[in-house]
Structure 1
Amino acid sequence: MIAGKEAHAVGCNWSFAPIVDIDYNFLNPITNIRTYGSNQETIIKFADCQIEALKENHILPCIKHFPGDGVDMRDQHLLSSVNDLTVDKWNNSYGKIYQHFINNGIGSIMVGHILLPHHIKEINPECNEEDYMPASLSKEILTVLLRNKLGFNGLVVTDATAMIGFNVAMSRSKALPLCIERGCDMILFNKNIDEDYMFIKNGLKEGFLSQKRLDEAVLRIIGTKMANGLFDHSEVEESEKIVGCIEHQSLAKECAKQAITLVKEQKGVLPLTSDKYKKIRIYNLTDQDNGGFKEEGTQLSLTNLLQKEGFNVYEFDTKRLDFQEVFEGGIKDIKEKCDLVIYVANYDTASNQTTRRVEWIKLMAANAPWFMQDVPTIFVSLANPYHLFDVPMIKTYINCYTNNDQTLQVLVDKLLGKEKFVGKSPVDVYCGRWDTKR
């Protein structure tokens, strides 16, 4: 609802959402916190609500990434990734999800640069494996599966054609006209726009793209715009009264109250009190090259919020390491410096990242929790819910799913015992392992 209202307020009319991928593989760096979890019924339920809210605010939804991301551990931004589910498994998972939304009249679908080899083999047994194309360039997937078998007659848009997963499949001069010929209606983004226009024109002249298919694509684009009133020039509300308004901030805070999940808890660590923990050390874990810990739009920090509650809090400075502590420090030394340690991980899901794993300082893993058996230690993930894979030994672990001011405020209330932890995990946070549950 908030996304729809704020998008409409700033003049948007099309949303590349909801994401209806299934978070099958916890090592997948893309689906992670971008989809609604690992359960297809949950995904359908929440995506239905998002679609309804977008439509109520005059925003055209676009579900993605057909034929389904989340199986491969690799990123289609960097290569043509693979959904290697068998035909039956795909039909009973991703297939059911897409069939549901197609039956309910979804108007647009984004197609990913994702291979679906078992379907290609079934549809076209004569096709050699080296000739398999990602869905955005595959006639078998676009025309036979999506159009004919699933019955989708709406607008098909490619995922960004600047992505490597699209460009390595074939020469861009052929890929652009062929993605239209094989079933896409619209191309998302360009590399060199003048060159890309030339590739389409040349493709039409050389027979890679037929006039009939081009006309069909243009007709679908115009029809989609007309069906959604994009030629009506309806006025939008004043954005400053809508974007970031108090009502939306309150709703975001309520979402955080319901979502934040206490996955594991060591007896006696929570709730935090200034009497029990005189000094708290915080380790901020994030990408080293993103300009710092706080994401754009986030004004608060856990450090400042806890300080306002009367705690003596300081952050471990990775740029000014205490070499005596790194090479000679022991349990007594760290106990003199802090009574509690909190790790705050903010490895948000991001394009062009091969992994969303915890990364320690290379020098002696100086910021790793070697002391956790002797100093109470809490691990908080603001994004990726799967960090237990890298810190199974930590006994108090919390997932927040997103990093914003409202989430941080609610997190502090829950740490202090002012709010109960009520969130339930939408995925297997234990990553299918026994050691993460201990």
Structure 2
Amino acid sequence: MLQALTTQQSQWVDKTLSGLSLEEAVGQLLCISQFNDSMDYWLPLMEKVPFGAARARSETAEGYRSFLSELQQHAAIPLLVPANMEHGAAELRGYGTEFPWSMGIGAANDEVLVATMGEAIATEARYVGVNWLFNPVIDLNYNFNNPITNIRSMGDDPARVSRLATIWLQAMQQRGVAATAKHFPGDGIDDRDQHLITTINSLPFDQWLETYGVVWKAVIDAGVMCIMPGHIALPDYQGYQAHPEDAPPATISRKILVDLLRQELGYDGLIVSDNASMIGFTTRAKAEDLVVESIAAGIDIYLNAVPEHDFDRLLQGVHDGRVSEDRIYEAAKRVLEMKARLNLFEDVTVSAPSQEQQVRFQDAAQAMADKSITVLRAGDDLAFDIQGGEKALTVTIGNLAPHMGHGDLDVFDQELRERGLQVEHLLNPTSDELRQKAEDVDLIFVNLDNIPFATLANIRVTDTFRTWGWRSIYRTHPKVAYTAFGSPYVLHELPPVPRLLGAYGNSGCSQRAAVKVLLGEIEPVGTLPVRMPKVEIKRWPID
């Protein structure tokens, strides 16, 4: 369960809370997110809105560290500073260790490496000034068409996800950062995106208890400091069996936040909303009512608040009686309690990760990636025997590849070149372009870079009439290998290609691991952490 406060921590919470004006208490419930690090913006804002949490963006990690240090010095109450680090602190530009995506963590299924990953993320986050992490994702990916969870999920087995998630979050929290389990009551059932619409966890409640309920109870029992509800409804529990689409999202549902999460599951930590700008949230009430309804329903801290409006709106909600002062101070106390658990009231200098730590973290990331690579389909020979000097063609299929941190799967190409191959590359080629290049090469590597991305609303591999030739190139060339650097469910929609690996994400370490397997340097030992959809004859509900 949640770790009890020490006497010193409790005294700090009580003293700080008792000194808060209503305006200061309201400010503690707001997390401001802006993609700039200008003190000319932040300091005047801090004078107007005494916000309790902030996140920004800098060009470099050292620049962000300097910015956060200065911002904390001006804060009357220490700030929570959150970050998404679902696969490592490398999600801050040019910094830290990059690990496989979460489904790769599930495929590797190595508890020691997960613990090291948690240590690495926490150590590297704290040095920069981040003290609150929006991970792990503990959603169960039951629907292979879900466009948001997919490889952000560790799989669809509640026992495996529970075990890995608890090790991960405890390793981070033991090193002075707060973990956040997300997205309550659980994503991975719907095939829609809450960035665009309120999504539905349509399980009957008894089945929810046997699946998602198991995972949520596990992280609560493990002492997770924070839980993030998604803009996701659970209509069977909420009493909307006849009209599930009418069920409100968890982020404004007292039934979900208080009755289920607080009372039935016994959670007593901080509850943070998911991003308040998502359409699955903003379309459920008037703009001026959203923050009031959210806090009144049980949210303790409101993520991505609009500082020019939400501070005044929440104060007005108190004056109007739509949310009580008691509720404001209850939420503010929980914010302060998490700050106390992190000992933010102490002036502590955090050292940079040592050279030994950096090497150990990088080694752990590569070991995890190596263990995650999974054979989704293999013919007689999985690996290619190379002598050096062979001509290789790499083909990236994926519209998002240039925008997601690795250019165009360039690590894969570089690894081949380092082994003496002559590499040419194509991105989303036409069928004619591919055929022409294929005639003059010894090896072809088709790399699928389809990863979850907000508002894309699709995780399937998409083609135009002119670009589908990659799907059948193995019929005209003797040495073709396919690797899914994203969704493993491509197995469901590809013809019987001779070689298909699952790498579960486009992290650099995963690209290196795939090359090792394809060239026979290591054996693939990953286990598929999700079930593949089945094609079967069945009646369709057309009545």
- Bucket of the pairwise TM-score, normalised by the shorter protein: 0.7 to 0.9
Instruction: State the 1:338 CA deviation.
Output: 3.1
Partner of 1:105: 223
1:232-257 deviations in Å (ceiling 9; x for gaps): 12221125x47992222111111111
User: Which residue of the other structure, out of 248, 264, 267, is the alignment partner of 1:149?
Assistant: 264
8 A Cα contact 1:284 1:293, kept in partner: no
Instruction: State the 1:363 CA deviation.
Output: 4.1
Secondary structure of the residue that 2:308 maps to in structure 1?
helix
Secondary structure of the residue that 2:182 maps to in structure 1?
strand
1:211-263 deviations in Å (ceiling 9; x for gaps): 11111111111122113312112221125x47992222111111111111122
Instruction: State the 1:389 CA deviation.
Output: 2.3
> Which structure shows the bigger proportion of residues in helix conformation?
2
Percent pairwise identity: 28
Partner of 2:529: 426
Q: Confirm whether residue 89 of structure 1 aligns to residue 201 of structure 2.
A: no
Partner of 1:33: 151
Partner of 1:355: 458
Partner of 1:229: 343
Gaps of 5+ in 2: 1-118, 537-543
Q: Normalization by structure 2: what TM-score?
A: 0.71
8 A Cα contact 2:428 2:467, kept in partner: no
Provide the C-alpha distance between the structure 2 equivalents of 1:228 and 1:78, rounded to a whole number of angstroms. Answer: 35
Partner of 1:158: 273
Instruction: State the 1:394 CA deviation.
Output: 1.4
Quickly say closer, same or farther: Cα 1:165–1:335, change in 2 above 3 A: closer
Provide the C-alpha distance between the structure 1 equivalents of 2:439 and 2:208, rounded to a whole number of angstroms. Answer: 56
Provide the C-alpha distance between the structure 1 equivalents of 2:440 and 2:408, rounded to a whole number of angstroms. Answer: 29
Secondary structure of the residue that 1:383 maps to in structure 2?
coil
Q: Confirm whether residue 313 of structure 1 aligns to residue 423 of structure 2.
A: yes
Partner of 1:369: 471
Partner of 2:413: 303
Provide the alpha-carbon RMSD of the alignment: 2.7
Quickly say closer, same or farther: Cα 1:422–1:312, change in 2 above 3 A: same
Provide the C-alpha distance between the structure 2 equivalents of 1:175 and 1:322, rounded to a whole number of angstroms. Answer: 49
Partner of 1:336: 439
**Which 10-residue stretch deviates more, 241-250 or 197-206?**
241-250
Secondary structure of the residue that 2:471 maps to in structure 1?
coil
Provide the C-alpha distance between the structure 1 equivalents of 2:500 and 2:522, rounded to a whole number of angstroms. Answer: 16
Quickly say closer, same or farther: Cα 1:374–1:62, change in 2 above 3 A: same
Provide the C-alpha distance between the structure 1 equivalents of 2:351 and 2:438, rounded to a whole number of angstroms. Answer: 56
Partner of 1:252: 365
User: Which residue of the other structure, out of 492, 509, 525, is the alignment partner of 1:389?
Assistant: 492
Instruction: State the 1:335 CA deviation.
Output: 6.0
Provide the C-alpha distance between the structure 2 equivalents of 1:243 and 1:77, rounded to a whole number of angstroms. Answer: 41
Quickly say closer, same or farther: Cα 1:253–1:74, change in 2 above 3 A: same
AA aligned to 2:525 is: V
1:381-407 deviations in Å (ceiling 9; x for gaps): 122222112213212100112323332
Segments ≥4 residues shifted beyond 4 Å: 127-131, 241-244, 296-300
Instruction: State the 1:269 CA deviation.
Output: 5.2
Partner of 1:187: 302
Quickly say closer, same or farther: Cα 1:68–1:103, change in 2 above 3 A: same
Provide the C-alpha distance between the structure 2 equivalents of 1:337 and 1:96, rounded to a whole number of angstroms. Answer: 54
8 A Cα contact 1:31 1:69, kept in partner: yes
Instruction: State the 1:148 CA deviation.
Output: 1.5
Provide the C-alpha distance between the structure 1 equivalents of 2:313 and 2:298, rounded to a whole number of angstroms. Answer: 17
Gaps of 5+ in 1: none
**Which 10-residue stretch deviates more, 145-154 or 81-90?**
145-154
Provide the C-alpha distance between the structure 1 equivalents of 2:490 and 2:339, rounded to a whole number of angstroms. Answer: 43
Partner of 1:280: 392
**Which 10-residue stretch deviates more, 206-215 or 277-286?**
277-286
Quickly say closer, same or farther: Cα 1:377–1:196, change in 2 above 3 A: same
Quickly say closer, same or farther: Cα 1:94–1:165, change in 2 above 3 A: same
Provide the C-alpha distance between the structure 2 equivalents of 1:279 and 1:296, rounded to a whole number of angstroms. Answer: 23
Quickly say closer, same or farther: Cα 1:317–1:23, change in 2 above 3 A: closer
Q: Normalization by structure 1: what TM-score?
A: 0.88
Secondary structure of the residue that 2:501 maps to in structure 1?
strand
Partner of 1:44: 162
Alignment of 1:113-132 (within 5 A): 113-121=231-239, 131-132=246-247
Partner of 2:290: 175
Provide the C-alpha distance between the structure 1 equivalents of 2:457 and 2:356, rounded to a whole number of angstroms. Answer: 33
1:272-303 deviations in Å (ceiling 9; x for gaps): 4248x943322111225x6x277249994322
1:298-329 deviations in Å (ceiling 9; x for gaps): 9943223223322233223557x585x68xx6
User: Which residue of the other structure, out of 174, 177, 181, is the alignment partner of 1:63?
Assistant: 181
8 A Cα contact 1:5 1:242, kept in partner: no
Instruction: State the 1:353 CA deviation.
Output: 1.9
Instruction: State the 1:366 CA deviation.
Output: 4.7
Secondary structure of the residue that 2:473 maps to in structure 1?
coil
Q: Count residues in correspondence.
A: 418
Q: Confirm whether residue 212 of structure 1 aligns to residue 333 of structure 2.
A: no
Instruction: State the 1:120 CA deviation.
Output: 0.5
8 A Cα contact 1:6 1:242, kept in partner: no
Provide the C-alpha distance between the structure 2 equivalents of 1:382 and 1:402, rounded to a whole number of angstroms. Answer: 5
Quickly say closer, same or farther: Cα 1:68–1:209, change in 2 above 3 A: same
**Which 10-residue stretch deviates more, 371-380 or 47-56?**
371-380
